Structure 1
């Protein structure tokens, strides 16, 4: 049974009732972030029960030395780890000298958490009973500012609900933090300087090896009845922690609030010697602005995000909550302000996957950011990969490729490959294709071809060179083959001729050739620069074309389907529904050997190709392949349900499409995979958005126009979404009575709605 304790609510994630067994799961689900930093929903006060501490600064990482039993040529030397950063949320609380610790108090009542997605804040409320005649109520709200993204704000309110008492607060900074997943128990951080002055504190830390400098800072104020209280700021300090104290006597029913302003300034954005001054400026701004105004600013910033990104669903509260949770977490993780940053599969919600960049960004995330924000945000994601092209070429050189061939990493922080499983590192090379598809998808959607001559063509050339060198000519078949690979289905390793990989390789080469011609015809200066840079010749491109034209595709003529790879039908083909439930999930119940020999598919593989290249195949072909492969798919990747939801909707299998949608949208909220305590599945959340917009909304680009083939699940009364198409806002509203599309731009827009071409006249923004 799924973990279903989150209360259905359209705009909030709500937990009610104290259950220590859910603490770690809730720390993931109630995580907060602002694109520049994020943190799990750890308690401010001390907690001696099971917890997973996590605070993270975007772009700050450590190269944790690879731990393998034996070395392989080309093997990455390290796994990039997102670092658990110094803790700035800590506020120890003492009631008449006794620590407030929910694991140790006599009783906890009236416990609840709320993550308010509409306004962008997280709040926890409870009553802690110390004895029959002593109890306190705590209401702790915090948020990470969107406007000043180095600042976090905590409003920690305590009321004496039973008895008179002395309340002592100890706000602190703790730089003595470690990761749970260190390979060798190395020290990731060195603490370099601690300063405490008045009510402010600063700790400057430096990461080992990567030499990122981070200043963690705080300032606190004590407030009662709207007035700031003077208090003695007794200092406790060691070589890792700075602790301030503030005490007050409370009579029964009186309330006092500690406000804590804190955050990080890093050397990503400031010179090392400027960090303390930068932190002081943030604190000065915070204290002069004040909590109420900062909170109002947060609400207004989120209102702007939701005005464009929101998806409404009528008549299905859990589905509505699910999509908003996904949209909220995506915006907490990445806002597109900094082209040096990217989207980790866990975002700021946990350490798993190292917080690094995967092909998820290009395959799943770019459509979301492209449609819900200014196109510059998606361009920044593409620029991120262009800036790392030199490293991708180095990665390929380490594996024996030459002449500027590039292999983009499976996992990276700075462009270097840092994945440590050989079948992924060396063989899951289809990721290269996602880089080219993202460029194609961006140009198709935005109409901004300028990216190609400026940056994209160089990427395409380097990737075409890789595929050309990676292919092997088979004299027996008179075809080029790609041997020894792992496709998107990671339950198959070291296979020959994965159809998706071969098809993608052929397409990538043709894209490079096509775009070379376009740039040559229209961008002469860029063309000359690129040819000079790459030393590309006509004979080389001719040899590319030969590989593409003669690329082998495994097909079973009798079934009329593309085979996932050579020999796939040699397996015993038993549908998933015939598997005994005690064997599920197979990745936890079976040996790896048994999984590799089975026919079971982790996520869309052949069907990933049908998703990317839907215009290359007929609906009948999609149906035939869906009917063959989906029954063999165990969906044990978070990236699997969304692709299948989109395709089921295209096939008018709405019950199946809805089931897949609900699974992807509530994957974490209902903890389908029994692992949410490790963090949320951030990149797959973009797939949830695609399930609605591309699946039920049927969005695709046809003849340079947005086309919508809308489908309404019977569980819904209606749904709506907006997209930014070439700087024109389109608002799509689907109900049982039909589909309406409105544009709020400045120019008429040609659209296709359920097969009918229409020219929309713009309406006023406030219409």
Structure 2
């Protein structure tokens, strides 16, 4: 596969020339979504070559029974799978009764695919010569509406170039689909009813086990040279599908077009008995509005998103394309309008990771959504975790914890743990810390304390109780230790005293106690309500504090660094630079046994702690730890380059920061990890945003104020971004040598720039 076939462009992802080896990768890269549903960039017409078909509905999942050879107590019963949903995009095309299929066409010319990120649509065009020698020009455009999020629209045109031809469009909907990712090849969908009337068709289906009721729908209109034509379709239906057939004798150089509208109504949003009537309302609105007007509305909706979220980069097209690609997919995946939803690591682009919620949301995504949208969006993400607190307590109980100790799941759809690799499920417990840190980060950035007094304090108490019980006293060390864990570096399992885990455990307890005291003194009604609910005593808090005050942290006097875990120096410390390139990536070349004994680090681990808790360490300490750990880091997690980019920028190592930035921003576009065909790395895309805003822009919150330490890579002429800080929109424009600030609103904002206070007045350009 050609890994560098995406053409650099400021606003579009472009592919030119048809290469069947790139089909699956392009299906991921060109994926579209609108927060409520999404789909891989599969062809509408049939394709008999290798393809990964995928359409997904937000929040609809299946509990696929765990598949392990040896059952261990505490194992989750299932792994939640994001479900490949019934297909509504299909339009089979026949030219003089021969199927249009790019895998078997005699010749394909001028193939071009474009994902227009500015306006939110996907297009494809080509000239094909079929086996029957007919030559046709095809152009397709489709989008998933942001305004009507149950609706998608397709404009598909064919023009015969060599002779007149009978062209048949067969739009269909089909629920006879399967997941690529399944443990037991279970049937995930039960089709309840297939119906049609006029030019509309409906499939009512429900998921097995979880009983999500859905209606997949479609309606089509056909045109000759832009003029509507009425054709009575031939209708075909069976137990899983319905298709309409529209045939027309098309003259040479005439254009025959079909507009197909489709999508899903779901019982998460409607009464399950009203799904067909809800679908009819969507279709009636779509056909009345028409494809062109719906597309204009789409462009306007994306213009509003970009007005706030865009980052501009001058003088480096690949870097510009990379950041916009990341921002675009984050907004396609999650828009913050539904507090029941979260951000899956693959979004709507694939099935790996179960499409569920990971600690990535709290550690990486919340800063992006806080700064580029209304703070309610980030609050929704925190509310999601509060609503899952009871499940987190149940998860901990299954592992033997008690008294309201909460262990948030590694992977979840509904708050229940559904990840079933024991070294992750039982041991990667640092995820609890990311959730507490997100509460701290939200309050620090927004100034909104109400979440903590209303909900967050209960979460912090549950987490503190977990850490108190998970640590045990070592008489040998005369300290509290945390044994048998996996840190963020998943290339070490079942280690003792992972520094990051111990550090965040200590911090969580201290942060919980700090907020208990604040709520007690400032919000006595909330304090009484919460204490009555959680039954927390001063004696228990004292026990927590004993653990936090006496936590053990492994340290090397020889290297003057905190050790990633107790046994790190027992490893054969060969740096990545001395590792044979043919052995990379090690997760695809080495046995797990060899990986676990190696010093190689999948992603920031000790350095993740230095990123979160930067204020608690000096720049000199960061430098020592960066110099020690980065040479052992293989960056085989999508979450790794962004953290290293931010820290390299802080250390004024701009070449390194820039290299890491390009790697995180173009991770999927350039397929660094050779896995883009499985789907995109959505949650790490928020880290790309952070690597510019927090890395190069140096944005932090210090003393309750926005603070900036702007830097610029030498490869760039300038860059700019906007942040929404406490309902005030600040634009930051960084050039070589100067930084400009602009403020929307009607009151001044004091910020820090390179340690000096600067007052920004509304609608006046301030240059530093």
- Pairwise TM-score range, normalised by the shorter structure: over 0.9
Q: Contact 1:2/1:672 (CA < 8 Å) preserved in 2?
A: no
Note if 1:342 corresponds to 2:342: yes
CA displacement, residues 549-598 of structure 1 (integer Å, 9 cap, x when unaligned) = 00111111232110001021111111110011111111111111111111
2-structure distance, mates of 1:678, 1:88: 21
Tell me the CA shift for residue 106 of structure 1: 1.0
2-structure distance, mates of 1:734, 1:362: 28
Equivalent in the alignment of 2:204: 204
Note if 1:613 corresponds to 2:613: yes
Equivalent in the alignment of 2:727: 727
Q: Contact 2:554/2:565 (CA < 8 Å) preserved in 1?
A: yes
Equivalent in the alignment of 2:112: 112
CA pair 451-522 structure 1, distance change in 2 beyond 3 A: same
SS in 1 for 2:130: strand
1-structure distance, mates of 2:523, 2:44: 57
1-structure distance, mates of 2:287, 2:386: 41
Equivalent in the alignment of 1:20: 20
Q: Contact 1:744/1:764 (CA < 8 Å) preserved in 2?
A: no
2-structure distance, mates of 1:181, 1:327: 27
Count of residues in Structure 1 that have an aligned counterpart in Structure 2: 765
Note if 1:744 corresponds to 2:740: no
Equivalent in the alignment of 1:634: 634
Q: How does 1:153-192 map to 2 (within 5 A)?
A: 153-192=153-192
Q: How does 1:496-535 map to 2 (within 5 A)?
A: 496-535=496-535
1-structure distance, mates of 2:648, 2:662: 13
Tell me the CA shift for residue 745 of structure 1: 2.1
Q: How does 1:122-521 map to 2 (within 5 A)?
A: 122-130=122-130, 134-521=134-521
1-structure distance, mates of 2:403, 2:577: 49
Tell me the CA shift for residue 737 of structure 1: 3.1
Tell me the CA shift for residue 741 of structure 1: 1.2
Q: Contact 1:6/1:15 (CA < 8 Å) preserved in 2?
A: yes
2-structure distance, mates of 1:99, 1:15: 24
Q: Contact 2:225/2:254 (CA < 8 Å) preserved in 1?
A: no
Q: How does 1:678-697 map to 2 (within 5 A)?
A: 678-697=678-697
SS in 2 for 1:245: strand
Farther-moved stretch of structure 1 (277-286 vs 123-132): 123-132
Tell me the CA shift for residue 754 of structure 1: 1.8
Structure 2 runs not aligned, ≥5 long = none
Q: Contact 1:457/1:512 (CA < 8 Å) preserved in 2?
A: yes
2-structure distance, mates of 1:384, 1:764: 39
CA pair 560-250 structure 1, distance change in 2 beyond 3 A: same
CA displacement, residues 163-183 of structure 1 (integer Å, 9 cap, x when unaligned) = 100000000001101101111
Equivalent in the alignment of 1:89: 89
List, as ranges, runs of 4+ consecutive aligned residues in structure 1 with deviation greater than 6 Å: none
Tell me the CA shift for residue 226 of structure 1: 3.0
1-structure distance, mates of 2:423, 2:567: 19
1-structure distance, mates of 2:661, 2:424: 28
Q: Contact 2:734/2:740 (CA < 8 Å) preserved in 1?
A: yes
2-structure distance, mates of 1:732, 1:192: 54
Q: Contact 2:2/2:22 (CA < 8 Å) preserved in 1?
A: no
Q: Contact 1:481/1:551 (CA < 8 Å) preserved in 2?
A: yes
Equivalent in the alignment of 1:759: 759
Equivalent in the alignment of 1:67: 67
1-structure distance, mates of 2:337, 2:311: 23
2-structure distance, mates of 1:687, 1:130: 45
Q: Contact 1:393/1:462 (CA < 8 Å) preserved in 2?
A: yes
Tell me the CA shift for residue 132 of structure 1: 8.2
Q: Contact 1:198/1:233 (CA < 8 Å) preserved in 2?
A: no
SS in 1 for 2:301: helix
CA displacement, residues 690-728 of structure 1 (integer Å, 9 cap, x when unaligned) = 000000000000111100101100000010000000000
Tell me the CA shift for residue 515 of structure 1: 0.4
Q: Contact 1:2/1:670 (CA < 8 Å) preserved in 2?
A: no
Equivalent in the alignment of 2:700: 700
SS in 2 for 1:162: coil
2-structure distance, mates of 1:18, 1:191: 36
Q: Contact 1:481/1:552 (CA < 8 Å) preserved in 2?
A: yes
SS in 2 for 1:331: helix
Q: Contact 1:261/1:286 (CA < 8 Å) preserved in 2?
A: yes
Q: Contact 2:98/2:132 (CA < 8 Å) preserved in 1?
A: no
CA displacement, residues 70-96 of structure 1 (integer Å, 9 cap, x when unaligned) = 100000000000000000000001001
2-structure distance, mates of 1:334, 1:379: 14
2-structure distance, mates of 1:596, 1:97: 58
Equivalent in the alignment of 1:711: 711
Q: Contact 2:751/2:760 (CA < 8 Å) preserved in 1?
A: yes
Note if 1:675 corresponds to 2:672: no
Equivalent in the alignment of 2:624: 624
CA displacement, residues 724-762 of structure 1 (integer Å, 9 cap, x when unaligned) = 000000100000131111111221101011222111111
2-structure distance, mates of 1:2, 1:600: 28
1-structure distance, mates of 2:76, 2:133: 60
2-structure distance, mates of 1:133, 1:253: 16
Q: How does 1:571-586 map to 2 (within 5 A)?
A: 571-586=571-586
1-structure distance, mates of 2:364, 2:486: 19
TM-score by length of 2: 0.99
Q: Contact 2:159/2:256 (CA < 8 Å) preserved in 1?
A: yes
Farther-moved stretch of structure 1 (304-313 vs 732-741): 732-741
2-structure distance, mates of 1:227, 1:583: 59
2-structure distance, mates of 1:373, 1:213: 31
Q: Contact 2:742/2:764 (CA < 8 Å) preserved in 1?
A: no
2-structure distance, mates of 1:124, 1:654: 39
SS in 1 for 2:625: helix
CA displacement, residues 480-512 of structure 1 (integer Å, 9 cap, x when unaligned) = 000000000000010000000000000000000
CA pair 310-103 structure 1, distance change in 2 beyond 3 A: same
State the superposition RMSD in angstroms. Answer: 1.0
